[in-house]
Structure 1
């Protein structure tokens, strides 16, 4: 299959803004962490956000007040590298640079949100823990480590139910297919996909991937490495499209819950958006004062949170994708009649001539 390659984007390019497109902007800046913020996650069904940092803590934030909720959450003895939220919103898993894994139960109400550490031990990784993702079943999660292994864990017991899988190089990230039957790993040398029912390796793509994820239909993979993004066929591994997304090393990747776009972050101090249908850039990059590591969409896809190397968490509005703009346009044409019409069929009176 043909490979399409685009030239590297200049620093924070301003993309054309379509009529009706909102320019994304920072909504809130959350201050409290003492070192770099490596990951963030919205707590479903609430106005709260959780973050993990190199200060070895997790913190919960109230997005209405911009204030930290309660005290920092301690338990890790090393840098908190990654977070993952379960699909049902009940659990958060955190992974640290010493290979430790903690699971937190989320207890929320309208005014408070609390993360309670679950007393389960997860022993298996012997080095830094750089990738984690919950399975669609909410009962298991997968992890990737610099010890060159991938594991699938039982959340309730801490048992390894699949693995450890030796991948032959640093394992950076993991992703489940939407139906939960496949697991993909991005490593220093390959992208590998396994069938979780049989344990069989289905595909090994000869390309380095720092981050990898399945598209919502499960048919393609989006991966990022160095400065470029690749869209690949999830069955054959053929590259469908490849383009330079950043001017410095890529750091993270997340798909919006509504399936219209994805966001990437980088050492080049930006977060950028791309249409999930056309893979073209959307709107303008979000400018930060330092590298951006953590990124997460809200459930309605209207907000994005970023964790930055300046120790701050930020929330931002999100630009609309092409499909979203078309929906907005159809809505307004349906509700608001064109100005040149002498009357609206939805009104009971005619417009008087000027």
Structure 2
């Protein structure tokens, strides 16, 4: 989204950057490239967008005229990009590389920040920034996590051992003091980011691998989603789901979860191509499943002060729901 929230920028495998105005959704402005693109970030002033292309280059475009504003940054000499995450203030990008290293990128200048951060020995599955952008957590198929200082690009704590299978996702809690992680070992774990010590016992409820996590805005609850189609809400302090709801996405593999900004609702997407909205306190489904997508849903988020939902899917569809 643009900073003003009235326009959406999307990128497609056909090399098209589309700028959608919510008041004229049928006529987007398009910028064409010759390679597959994926959006990384819109700059804070709303004037430029950084894209990651299939030829392993980062490009910066002026969204008004469509011209590139600086030479492409070539990542081929460093390694193939596998994962991308951006800081909450949209000023920094973290990318994981085929060689299991991590790079930081400055969004405003389009320049790389320092040398690659090394530690992981297998594919990195997630990168996530703390709310203040001063810490980065990473985890992957080597079953471990690292916490990095984004200023010095040095390890704060790690490797963090405990998971017995691939680590799939993670999020910061309590500012930057704790991290929640989930794994193919069916567990969710909480870590102290400074000491690297696991807090309490693993949280176990799901029958299948846990692939997605969401953190409530006040960071007192964690929602987990699994291949068993179930969603569980956990107390982030007691590490218990007792007294909190569980939800069933009709046995569909849960592909994403997100809390509304007030924490009262949870949005889930599944491999059944539906979007569902739940009361996060009672676990009740709100309304009917949203099922206009015919392909895998790649993104679904609350927008416009939680009054609307924007979703995209394979097949090139973008939908705005009230």
TM-score, structure 2 length as denominator? 0.70
Closer, same or farther: CA 137–79 of 1 in aligned 2, 3 Å: closer
Residue range with higher mean Cα deviation, 127-136 or 87-96 = 87-96
Q: Please point out which of 151, 171, 186 is paired with 1:175.
A: 171
SS of alignment partner, residue 124 of structure 1: coil
Whether 1:92 and 2:84 are equivalent positions in the alignment is: no
Q: Which whole-Å CA distance do the structure 2 matches of 1:99 and 1:228 have between them?
A: 31
Q: Which whole-Å CA distance do the structure 2 matches of 1:34 and 1:266 have between them?
A: 29
Residue equivalent to 2:220:
219
Residue equivalent to 1:111:
none
Q: Which runs of 5+ in 2 are unaligned?
A: 1-24
SS of alignment partner, residue 179 of structure 2: strand
Closer, same or farther: CA 104–259 of 1 in aligned 2, 3 Å: farther
Q: Which whole-Å CA distance do the structure 2 matches of 1:29 and 1:228 have between them?
A: 39
Whether 1:293 and 2:298 are equivalent positions in the alignment is: yes
The count of aligned residue pairs is 284
Note the C-alpha offset of 1:120. Answer: 2.8
Q: Which runs of 5+ in 1 are unaligned?
A: 1-24, 108-113, 320-354
Q: Which whole-Å CA distance do the structure 1 matches of 2:124 and 2:60 have between them?
A: 21
Question: How do residues 113-124 of structure 1 correspond to structure 2 at under 5 angstroms?
Answer: 115-124=110-119
Note the C-alpha offset of 1:172. Answer: 0.4
Residue equivalent to 1:244:
248
Question: How do residues 24-35 of structure 1 correspond to structure 2 at under 5 angstroms?
Answer: none
Note the C-alpha offset of 1:93. Answer: 1.5
Q: Assess if the C-alpha contact under 8 Å between 2:230 and 2:251 holds in 1.
A: no
Q: Assess if the C-alpha contact under 8 Å between 1:152 and 1:162 holds in 2.
A: yes
Note the C-alpha offset of 1:47. Answer: 6.9
Q: Please point out which of 174, 192, 195 is paired with 1:195.
A: 192
Question: How do residues 272-311 of structure 1 correspond to structure 2 at under 5 angstroms?
Answer: 272-279=276-283, 280-281=285-286, 284-285=289-290, 287-295=292-300, 301=306, 308-310=313-315
Question: How do residues 36-55 of structure 1 correspond to structure 2 at under 5 angstroms?
Answer: 44=44, 46=46
Larger Rg: 1
- Runs (4+) of structure 1 moved beyond 4 Å? 25-37, 39-45, 47-65, 67-74, 294-310
Superimposed CA distance per residue, residues 94-129 of structure 1 (whole angstroms, 9 cap, x where no aligned partner):
23454232222122xxxxxx6433233111122222
Superimposed CA distance per residue, residues 176-231 of structure 1 (whole angstroms, 9 cap, x where no aligned partner):
11433211101111111012344331131124421113212222210111122111
Q: Assess if the C-alpha contact under 8 Å between 1:79 and 1:96 holds in 2.
A: yes
Closer, same or farther: CA 148–216 of 1 in aligned 2, 3 Å: same
Higher RCO (CA 8 Å, separation ≥ 6 residues) = 1
**C-alpha RMSD over aligned residues:** 3.9
Residue equivalent to 2:128:
133
Q: Please point out which of 248, 252, 258 is paired with 1:254.
A: 258
Residue equivalent to 1:160:
155
Q: Which whole-Å CA distance do the structure 1 matches of 2:262 and 2:27 have between them?
A: 21
Q: Assess if the C-alpha contact under 8 Å between 2:261 and 2:305 holds in 1.
A: yes
Closer, same or farther: CA 242–316 of 1 in aligned 2, 3 Å: same
Q: Which whole-Å CA distance do the structure 1 matches of 2:220 and 2:74 have between them?
A: 39
SS of alignment partner, residue 281 of structure 1: coil
Q: Assess if the C-alpha contact under 8 Å between 2:245 and 2:280 holds in 1.
A: no
SS of alignment partner, residue 120 of structure 1: strand
